[in-house]
Structure 1
Amino acid sequence: MTLSPFARKPVLTGERTVLRPFTEADAETMAAIIEDPEVVRFTGGPASFAPERLRSWYGSRGAQDDRLDLAVTDRATGELVGEVVLNDWDPDHRHATFRTLVGPRGRGRGLGTEAARLIVGYGFATAGLHRIGLEAYADNVRARHVYEKLGFVVEGVRRQVALHDGVWRDEVVMGLLAEEWKAA
């Protein structure tokens, strides 16, 4: 059995952000973040979860050795503004999927970009991943801009995968390889 590179939950520090392991105490703040209309629109998820479910979810992230869920905090204030995740880990092919969400208080200040850069860098340099993939709605221009800045390239489009307010939405599939990350 392959030892998971995600068994240890690091604290990753940048100029603007600190990524840290989640605790149960983060559930209330994350509830407000995941209920934000923009987060709901671009994650495709339901707007609310039961408080006990969120406490259990965020409280259990540290025990998951097949994924890495980290809280994105504003380094200047310590405020929790979102999350970054490496999941769907495939140990045989050294691949994981990246996802993120940032609430309204973390947007427009470079926090999401730095958080994404930190966890992707960790995935390649420390976790030994060969490839990191992601999927994003084609109309999520802000997120796609961040991913492209990090070096992710469009690998394909899944057409009309989601119906939102009567409009069909495409999903863009993107990927980044370890050698591309190093070259950038």
Structure 2
Amino acid sequence: MQNSYEKIMDIKGEKVILKSLTKELCHEIYKKYVADPMMTDQIYEYSKEKVDNYFNERTKDCNRKIFAITVDGEAIGEVQIKHINYLTKEGSLSVHLIGDSVKGKGYGTEAERLIIEYAFKNLGLNTLYADVVHRNTRSQHIMEKLGFKYVREDEMFKYYKLILKVFEEYKEGRYQKDE
């Protein structure tokens, strides 16, 4: 039985290439994944069955576009637009990198920028949302760097919003973060 997940062309950046997530790429990512202590206190253990279930569940969702982040042909994480609502032209950004070995090199930021451009240009969205765990200050900084505005917070997350106009200003170098 074929699922509704469509293969999308690669999205190429300077450092990373976003590839439509395949089961093989999903396993490659989660075999190397190390839980980030800035995100969770739980220990992650790879399980073929859990990764298969994760892949099958995510790729059947027609309101989600999910990509592997690759560098020099190696999968180092995933980035996705989820909760896509084509009527309201909104979606949510999510990114996971395999661990500290690939962080701080600009890969995640570039992957997020590429998928934001894809969401606005190819999916026709006008607004993106993101949430970040309180203690993940690195991701909070990246959200603001990409033009996301802080909206609110609860016990677990800080919530951000990015509108197309602000992102266009960011790309053109005209975006000024509110101080």
How far does the alpha carbon of each residue in 1:26-52 deviate from its partner, in whole angstroms, 9 at most, with x for none? 243222344x131x6516777246312
Q: 1:7 to 1:43 in 2, by over 3 A?
A: farther
Contact 2:31–2:46 under 8 Å retained in 1 = no
Helix, strand or coil for the counterpart of 1:115? helix
Shift in Å at residue 16 of structure 1? 0.2
TM-score, length-scaled by structure 1:
0.79
Matches within 5 A, 1:25-104: 25-34=24-33, 36-38=34-36, 41-42=38-39, 47-48=44-45, 50-58=47-55, 61-74=58-71, 77-104=72-99
SS in 1 for 2:39: helix
Tell me by how many angstroms 1:176 deviates: 0.1
Q: Which runs of 4+ in 1 moved over 4 A?
A: 43-46, 59-63
Q: 1:179 to 1:71 in 2, by over 3 A?
A: same
What 5-or-longer segments of structure 2 have no aligned partner? Answer: 171-179
Alpha-carbon RMSD: 2.4
Deviates more, 1:103-112 or 1:51-60: 51-60
Q: Which of 132, 135, 139 is 2:131 aligned to?
A: 135
* Structure whose residues are more often strand by fraction: 1
Aligned match of 1:175: 161
TM-score by length of 2: 0.81
Structure 2 CA distance for partners of 1:62 and 1:137, relative to 1, 3 Å: closer
- Code of the aligned partner of 1:37: A
> 2:11 corresponds to which residue?
12
Contact 1:21–1:61 under 8 Å retained in 2? no
**How many residue pairs were aligned?**
166
| More deviation, 24-33/110-119 | 24-33
Are residues 64 and 37 of structure 1, via their aligned partners in 2, closer, same or farther at CA, if it must alter by over 3 Å?
closer
